[in-house]
Amino acid sequence: MFFRGQKSPILLKFLTVISVAKIENILNNLKKEFDFFIVEIKIKTGNKIFIAIDNFKNISIDDCSIISERLHEHLSYEEEDFELEVSSPGLTQPFKVMEQYIKNKDKEVEIVLKSGEKITGKLAEINDEDIIIEMIEKIKEKNKKKEITQVKRIGFSNIKTTRKVIKFNS
């Protein structure tokens, strides 16, 4: 029997929401032990937690599984009901953190500017305010094909999305 103003313990279980800050704190402590960086943390309705992690090598399914297990050790189903998914950010997903730019230095990327313009080229340099892209343009000069490298500096404030270009060898 419940009195006015009291809530059912079952209802309280569903009202407890895990915070991004709590997950981020646990992950930051795990980073001391494991080699990864946080790309994204999303908590959806019903405490459905999605975490994307990466590292500067190649993050594996085993790495994600270990981090997931370690997160479970720090979270309690008795305190919070939750679902947890830990994965890599995915090859086709846009970059979300600076570490992704650093990881993909000297690799080909596609950038969509806020103006809508698309730029594809090698990610040559990265700093806190902008990136430098090297674009190779093929021109025909006196019946010979020639490649010219153009350099473009792009401020992060002008970038809508950046993705790694995936190439398949044939």
| pLDDT single digits (tens) 18-32 | 899 999 999 999 998
Burial class of residue 168 (count of CB atoms within 10 Å of its CB; 0-12, 13-18, 19+): exposed
User: Comparing 147 with 6, which gets the higher pLDDT?
Assistant: 147
Q: In the prediction, which pLDDT does 76 show?
A: 82
- pLDDT of amino acid 7: 45
CATH of the domain at 133: 2.30.30.100
Q: Is residue 2 domain-resident?
A: no
> What tens digit of pLDDT does each residue of 34-56 get?
999 999 999 998 889 999 999 99
CB 36 within 8 A of CB 63: yes
Query: Which region holds residue 142: left if phi is over 0, alpha if psi is between -120 and 50, else beta?
Result: left
**The whole model's pTM is what?**
0.82
Query: Are 74 and 140 in the same domain?
Result: no
User: Does 159 share its domain with 105?
Assistant: yes
pLDDT of residue 117: 97
108 within 8 A of 133, measured Cβ to Cβ: no
pLDDT higher than 60, residue 10: no
Q: Which of 93, 80, 16, 21 is nearest to 54 (CA)?
A: 93
Closest-CA residue to 118 (of 94, 102, 85): 94
Domain termination residue (choose one: 23, 57, 87) = 87
**Nearest CA-CA partner of 111 in 39, 62, 43, 160:** 160
Residue 7 in tokens: 């809530």
Q: Measuring CA to CA, which residue among 51, 23, 52, 55 is closest to residue 36? A: 55
- Provide the number of structural domains found in the chain: 2
